[in-house]
């Protein structure tokens, strides 16, 4: 999309280069700790309340993975192997800690290798239930308390309820702003593209949240004055599926004459969609929020994820869905045929894409996306 946004450029600058962004470097220069997190079920608020910076651990693209293949099977997804590759090359040595969830088997094995072979001072894994019940919420609250206790013991800090409440307010504010950003994409001509939106999400995971919120507030103001092109009836798409945090993929899809108007991704709506209930005790509130956020494919029942995707399609008036899967991701591969069948029965066309994590563009799948868009245009 034309018309460069100053606030977006500032966000991109602060959150790059990968993996040690300018914002991270500035934080470390003050003698403060940085904690990497691997799964969206990890409460960033606890890390921030300890006076530390939470940043998301991500990886290299598939063709750059060499060393990690000596530690993880090559039929593990390229996301888990890509994250490990960065770590093994020492590019996450600036991290003072890493926290993972029990998201799936490859991520558990990633943490096992990290725990045994990398020198990150604090290493912790949080056991995440597969369904949401009162007992599961109580169990998960206990798990994140263990994470809190571990941070306190390792770094000799005290994480108070007052600090947690302040952290929750800051992160809730960021979620509200991101919801406003997504709401702008419901209109006939979104003032911000899917590629630009993913750049914003990416920045949110690589810098202090209060600083990010200020940038996003300015960006939303800029967008209210951004000239819009004429409505040319572009196809409106939602991208759902496994780990995808590469804005270039979104940009490649949109370059073919579509709008990516929303998503169901852990680098998208699943990351920020619901708020923490500030009327509850902080740790209980965090346990409820994180266990109840829009579910990924590891969670059961499947109907909750299906309902969320259906609501996204309705709210954002999507013409079709791209269901992308990082190769060897069993969880999303298991859900894919069920979701595809239900969506197509409801009259929503679905394109299945198998991707390698971090691929720079559509490459050889470009023809399939073009054919899908042409089919949707004919059906309009």
Count the Cβ atoms, other than its own, within 10 Å of residue 330. 15
What pLDDT does residue 2 have? 63
Per-position b or e across 341-373, b if 16+ CB within 10 A of its CB: ebbeeeebbbbbbebbbbbeebeebeeebeebb
What pLDDT does residue 230 have? 86
pLDDT tens digits along 76-94: 999 999 999 999 999 999 9
Q: How far apart are alpha carbons 44 and 74 in whole angstroms?
A: 30
Count the Cβ atoms, other than its own, within 10 Å of residue 337. 11
- Report the mean per-residue pLDDT for the chain: 96
Residues 6+ apart with CB under 8 A from 117: 71, 88
Given the structure tokens 């209109």, which residue do they identify?
Answer: 187
Over 90: is that where the pLDDT of 333 sits?
yes
Which tokens hold the place of 334? 């298991």
CA-closest candidate to residue 61, choices 267, 364, 356: 356
What pLDDT does residue 279 have? 98
pTM for this one? 0.96
Strand ranges of the sheet holding 258-264, from the earlier edge strand across to the other edge: 258-264, 235-241, 320-326, 350-355
Question: What is the fold of 19-161?
Answer: Rossmann fold (3.40.50)
Angle at 184 between CA 182 and CA 190, to 5 degrees: 105
Distances in Å between the alpha carbon of 371 and those of 88, 325, 351, 374?
40, 19, 10, 5
Distances in Å between the alpha carbon of 215 and those of 8, 223, 309, 324?
8, 12, 29, 30
Phi and psi, residue 54, nearest 5°: -85, 130
Q: How far apart are alpha carbons 325 and 376 in whole angstroms?
A: 21
How far is C-alpha 116 from the geometric centre of its chain's CA atoms?
26
Over 90: is that where the pLDDT of 364 sits?
no
Is there a contact between 25 and 5 (Cβ–Cβ < 8 Å)?
no
Q: How far apart are alpha carbons 15 and 32 in whole angstroms?
A: 17
Helix axes 282-291, 134-155, angle to 10 degrees: 120
CA-closest candidate to residue 155, choices 117, 116, 99: 99
Given the structure tokens 């962004």, which residue do they identify?
Answer: 21
Per-position b or e across 242-265, b if 16+ CB within 10 A of its CB: bbbbbbebbbbbbeeebbbbbbbb
What pLDDT does residue 72 have? 97
What pLDDT does residue 216 have? 99
Alpha helices in 235-329 (DSSP H): 247-254, 269-272, 282-291, 302-315
What pLDDT does residue 64 have? 85
pLDDT tens digits along 121-148: 999 999 999 999 999 999 999 999 999 9
Angle at 355 between CA 352 and CA 358, to 5 degrees: 145
Sequence spans of domains, the chain: 19-161
Which tokens hold the place of 356? 């390698």
Q: What is the DSSP letter of 325?
A: E
Rg (C-alpha) for the chain, rounded Å, is: 20
What pLDDT does residue 361 have? 67
- Which segment of 29-43, 51-65, 70-84, 359-373 scores lowest on mean pLDDT? 359-373
């Amino acid at each position: 999309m034309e018309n460069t946004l100053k606030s977006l450029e500032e966000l991109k600058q602060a959150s790059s280069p990968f993996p040690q962004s300018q914002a991270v470097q500035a934080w470390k220069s003050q003698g403060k700790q940085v904690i990497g997190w691997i799964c969206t079920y990890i409460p960033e608020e606890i890390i921030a309340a300890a006076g530390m910076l939470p940043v998301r651990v991500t990886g290299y693209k598939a063709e750059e993975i060499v060393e990690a293949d000596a530690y993880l099977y090559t039929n593990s997804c390229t996301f888990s192997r890509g994250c490990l590759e960065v770590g093994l090359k020492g590019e996450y040595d600036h991290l003072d800690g890493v926290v993972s969830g029990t998201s799936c088997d490859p991520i558990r094995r990633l943490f096992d290798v990290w725990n045994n072979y990398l020198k990150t001072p604090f290493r912790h894994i949080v056991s995440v239930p597969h369904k949401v019940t009162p007992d599961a919420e109580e169990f998960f609250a206990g798990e994140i308390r263990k994470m809190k206790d571990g941070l306190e013991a390792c770094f000799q800090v005290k994480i108070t309820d007052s600090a947690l409440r302040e952290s929750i307010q800051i992160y809730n504010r960021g979620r509200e702003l991101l919801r406003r950003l997504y709401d702008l994409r419901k209109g006939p001509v979104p003032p911000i593209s899917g590629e630009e939106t993913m750049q914003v999400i990416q920045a949110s995971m690589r810098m202090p949240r209060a600083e990010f919120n200020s940038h996003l507030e300015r960006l939303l103001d800029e967008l209210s004055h951004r000239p819009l092109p004429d409505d040319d009836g572009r196809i409106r798409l939602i991208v759902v599926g496994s780990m995808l945090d590469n804005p270039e993929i979104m940009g490649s899809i949109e370059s073919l004459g579509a709008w990516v108007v929303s998503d169901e991704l852990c680098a998208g709506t699943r990351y920020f969609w619901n708020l923490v209930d500030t009327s509850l005790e902080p740790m209980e509130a965090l346990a409820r929020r994180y266990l109840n956020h829009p579910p990924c494919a590891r969670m059961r029942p499947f109907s909750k994820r299906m309902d969320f995707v259906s609501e996204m399609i309705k709210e954002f008036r999507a013409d079709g869905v791209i269901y992308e899967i990082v190769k060897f991701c069993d969880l999303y591969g298991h859900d894919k045929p069920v979701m595809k069948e239900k969506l197509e029965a409801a009259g929503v066309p679905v394109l299945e894409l198998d991707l390698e994590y971090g691929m720079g563009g559509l490459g050889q799948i470009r023809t399939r996306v073009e054919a899908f868009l042409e089919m949707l245009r004919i059906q309009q």
